[in-house]
Structure 1
Amino acid sequence: MSILGMIIAIIFMAAGVIGTLLPALPGAPLIWLGMFFYGLLVKFHNLPWTFFLGQGLAVALIFLIDYLAGVWGVNRYGGSRESAWGSVIGGLVGVIILGPFGLIFGPFIGAVAGELYNKRPLEKAFRVGMGTIIGFMGGVILKLSIEAVMIIWFFIAVSR
C-alpha cells in the first residue's frame, strides 16, 4: 500500500463527495480518478481492470441519474412531455449560462417554460418546476449512495 497514493485517493474522494453536494466539481469522476491515481502508484496491485470497469459503470450510472432525476420529478408532479424536454434542455443550457448552479435552476426554468408553452396555469407550471428540484435532491441522495458503495469497494479491494 502506498501512503502517498492513499492520501491522493482520499483527497480526490472527498472532493468528489463535496462536488456531489455542491455542483461545482465533477463528483463521481473525481472519486474514480482518485482510485486510478492510487492504482498507478501501486502498479494496480489488487485493482484489476474489472474493478475500474465496475467503477466506471457506477460513474456512468451517476451521470444517468443526473439527467433522469429531474425528468422523474417532472413526471411525478404531472408535467407534460414538453416540460420533461424543457427540464433536460434547461439543465444543459443552464450549465452553460449559470455554471454549476445551472444544474439546479436550468431544469426548473425549462420545466416551467415547457408547461407555459402548453398553456398551463402558472401555478401548475411552478409545481412541475418544483418537481425538478425535488427530483434533483432525490438524485443527490441516490448519487451519494452509489459513491459510498464505490468508496467502500475501493477500500475492500486495497485491503486484500
Structure 2
Amino acid sequence: MDVLLLVLSFMCVILGVFGSFLPVLPGPTISWVGLALLYFTNAVPANYWILGITFLVTVIVSVLDYVIPATGTKKFGGSSYGIWGTNIGLVVGIIAPVPFGFIIGPFLGALIGELIYDFKDHNRALKAAAGSFVGFLASSFMKFVICVMYFGLFIWIVWSHKSELF
C-alpha cells in the first residue's frame, strides 16, 4: 500500500508542476494533494506543521491566481471584457495547435475582449492586453515556483525516509 501511495503522490506532484501552466489543472492544489498522500504512508510519520503551512500557502496562491491577472488588467486600464478575454484566450491557446499558444492566447483574448468593449480606443485595448499578459505570466510563475518547491519537499521527505519506504 505504501508503494501505491508513493506512486500516486509522485504523480500528483509532477502533475501539479504541469498544472501550474495549464489553466484546467489547479497546479498547487494537486501538488499539495501529492504531499498529503505521502503522509498517509506508514513509513512517513505525519508532520502537521508541514501539511498545514503548505496548505495555507496553497490557499493563498489559489486566491492570488485569480486576483493577479485581474489586477494586471485593471492596473493597465482594462475592463471585465479584457479579463474574460484573457481566460477564454488561455483555453483556446492551449487547445489550438499553435506553438506557445498558452502564452499568445491570453494576450490576444484580452485584446479582442477590450476591442469588443471599446473598438475605437486601440491604444487602451493594447495596454490592457499587455497588463493581462503580464498578470498571467506573474501568476503562472508564482504557481510554478510553489509547485517546484513542493516537488523539492517531496524529494526531501522521500529521501529522508527511503529506508522505511523501500
Same fold (TM over 0.5): yes
TM-score (norm 2): 0.68
Q: Which has the higher contact order (CA 8 A, sep 6+)?
A: 2
Q: In the alignment, what sits opposite 2:91?
A: 101
**Offset, 1:109:** 6.3
**Offset, 1:49:** 1.8
Q: In the alignment, what sits opposite 1:67?
A: 66
Tell me how far apart the structure 1 counterparts of residues 115 and 69 of structure 2 sit (CA, whole Å): 14
- Tell me if structure 2 keeps the 8 A contact 1:79–1:115: no
Q: Displaced runs of 4+ in structure 1, greater than 4 A?
A: 85-88, 102-107
Change (3 A) 1:56 1:100: farther
**Offset, 1:72:** 3.5
Output the amino acid matched with 2:40: L
- Tell me if structure 2 keeps the 8 A contact 1:24–1:100: no
After superposition, residues 1-160 of structure 1 pair within 5 angstroms as 2-42=2-42, 45=45, 47-76=46-75, 78-79=76-77, 83=79, 85-86=80-81, 90=84, 94=87, 101=91, 105=106, 108=110, 112=114, 116=118, 121-158=121-158, 159=160
Say what the alpha-carbon RMSD is for the aligned residues. 3.4
Output the amino acid matched with 1:49: Y
Q: Percentage identity across aligned positions? A: 19
**Offset, 1:123:** 2.6
- Secondary structure at the aligned position of 1:23 is classed as coil
Tell me how far apart the structure 1 counterparts of residues 20 and 89 of structure 2 sit (CA, whole Å): 15
| Structure 1 unaligned spans of 5+ | none
- Secondary structure at the aligned position of 1:137 is classed as helix
TM-score (norm 1): 0.70
